[in-house]
Amino acid sequence: MRKFLTGLLICTLASPAFAKGDKEKERLEESGTVMKEVLNIPDGIPKELLDKAECVVVLPSVKKGAIGIGVSYGRGVMTCRTGANFTGGWGSAVFMALEQGSLGWQLGGQATDFILLLMSPRSARGVLSSKVKLGADASAAAGPKGRTAEAATDATMRAEILTYSRSRGLFAGVSLSGSTLRPDGGANENFYGHKVVAKQLVQQGGNSQLSSILNGASPVNKSEPKSLKDVKR
């Protein structure tokens, strides 16, 4: 009996260590699934925009009131194209957090998936380095949808971050201005087993479902060369 109780105690004490990172693994898998499903929507994200994106953020199953009173808090994953000028394949996952106060999002009780396209090196560097407020630190707009982006306004096409939502099967561009986006340091440490620097992490090649899907859908960065040549890491 004593041996049994000792073994049970050891297992109980050890179980959190084995479980560490499980939530992040699940979040990464969910993000890949969401991206795959969205790319299969006929009138989804225009391919010409995805081809010009430096980074993609996927936040699956965000619910209103996750923390605090009326505060929405989404957790997800960002992946960027590797290389000094974001011209390589899609890289390793960086876990992210998106926060918004009670006046935003209007989610109701349902879960909502969010996808953000980072369309400039400046927005990518900013998000990888610290907390960025959408609409203030980086221009943001609801993303156009459809097979082409011809119907998009000039303001949309100049935005550094384009945002989309999917809820109950409905996919649309959505404004997330006023939200803050930042690396989730705790989640990154849980997943990788040590503290990591987000802007260094994205330089590593990715082997997740999310990076594989994006490598298949958009293997080459088709941004104008002049928009990338002055990138500094």
pLDDT tens digits for range 80-105 = 999 888 999 999 999 999 987 544 54
Phi, psi of 181 (to 5 degrees): -120, 130
Domain count for the chain = 1
* Cα 207 to Cα 58: distance, rounded to the nearest angstrom: 16
* 233 within domain boundaries: no
Given a cut of 80, is residue 156 above it in pLDDT? no
72/186 Cα distance (integer angstroms) = 18
**What integer pLDDT is reported at residue 103 of this predicted model?**
42
Residue 7 included in any domain: no
> Is 63 a domain residue?
yes
């990154």: which residue's tokens? 188
Specify the pLDDT at position 209.
95
- Within-domain flag for 55: yes
Let me know if residue 66 belongs to a domain.
yes
Instruction: Say if 27 falls within a structural domain.
Output: yes
